[in-house]
């Protein structure tokens, strides 16, 4: 699949077939994630793959943004202590979030290539997820990506036009 095709074809998938995702595919997604750009090349991320029903059931009540029950979740965490040590306040407050977002988009696009569907989720209780995953205090869950084989691919939500969101040389 060409990159442009994945960019336009990718949708947030919220309903999945009842079919497990092979661990090797989850590893492939994380391989794609670690090749994302990273501010100051800190690479502060840690990825937790969650496929076990019991663990997913613990997460579900603390993640209102998670629709249904996908076969797998990839929790993208960033190490804020490492970010601060290497990048100061900018590293801790800004780069850590951006690195998680870039990693998530690489996961999205690679998933598209592999015939998988994903949805990036930010609506969850960070403290609760931190506890359930037994993360050390410096490792903060920034995004959850649900992963599975799409049952239904929704229509593309409307986009604002390029003309509306783009200016040349200065605003307006
Ligand atoms: C930072 C971020 C947070 C998001 N959080 C959620 C979420 O909590 N739950 C959800 O169902 N979708 C979430 N989404 C997915 C968006 O709703 C989705 O990308 C948007 O509606 C556009 O649809 P598309 O991804 O199919 O193009 C999130 C997306 C981003 C980028």
Residue-wise pLDDT tens digits, 43-68: 999 999 999 999 999 999 999 999 98
- Centre of ligand 1 from the C-alpha of residue 120, in Å: 6
- What mean pLDDT do residues 4-23 have? 97
Nearest CA to ligand 1 atom 12: 121
Nearest CA to ligand 1 atom 5: 121
**Which residues contact ligand 1 via a Cβ below 6 A?**
11-12, 14, 65, 67, 119-123, 157
Cα–Cα dist 47/154, whole Å: 27
What pLDDT score does 47 carry?
Answer: 98
Nearest CA to ligand 1 atom 13: 121
CA 122 to chain centre: 9
Classify residue 147 by burial, with Cβ atoms within 10 Å: 0-12, 13-18, 19+: buried
- What mean pLDDT do residues 13-26 have? 98
Mutate to test the pocket of ligand 1, among 105, 122, 145, 148 (most ligand atoms within 8 A of CB): 122
- Centre of ligand 1 from the C-alpha of residue 1, in Å: 23
Partners of residue 146 on adjacent β-strands: 73, 119
Share of the chain above pLDDT 90, in %: 99
Nearest CA to ligand 1 atom 25: 12
- Centre of ligand 1 from the C-alpha of residue 114, in Å: 20
In CATH, the number for domain 18-151 is 3.40.109.10
Q: What is the DSSP string of 55-79?
A: HHHHHGGG-TT--S--SEEEEEEEE
Which helix (H) or strand (E) element contains residue 23? helix 23-33
Q: Do residues 114 and 32 lie in contact, with contact meaning Cβ atoms separated by under 8 Å? A: no
Mean pLDDT of the chain: 98
What pLDDT score does 81 carry?
Answer: 98
The per-residue pLDDT for range 92-115, each reduced to its tens digit, is: 999 999 999 999 999 999 999 999
pTM above 0.95, yes or no: yes
């Amino acid at each position: 699949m060409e990159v442009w095709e994945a960019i336009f074809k990718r949708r947030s998938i919220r309903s999945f077939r009842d079919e497990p995702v092979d661990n090797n595919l989850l590893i492939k997604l994380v391989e794609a994630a670690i090749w994302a750009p990273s501010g100051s090349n800190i690479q502060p991320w840690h990825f937790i793959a969650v496929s076990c029903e019991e663990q997913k059931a613990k997460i579900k009540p603390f993640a209102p943004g998670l629709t249904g029950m996908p076969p797998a979740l990839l929790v993208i965490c960033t190490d804020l202590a490492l970010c601060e040590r290497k990048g100061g306040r900018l590293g801790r407050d800004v780069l850590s979030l951006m690195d998680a977002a870039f990693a998530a988009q690489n996961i999205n696009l690679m998933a598209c290539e592999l015939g998988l569907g994903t949805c990036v989720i930010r609506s969850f209780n960070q403290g609760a997820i931190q506890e359930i995953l037994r993360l050390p205090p410096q490792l903060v869950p920034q995004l959850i990506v649900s992963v599975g084989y799409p049952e239904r691919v929704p229509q593309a939500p409307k986009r604002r036009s390029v003309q509306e969101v783009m200016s040349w040389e200065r605003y307006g």
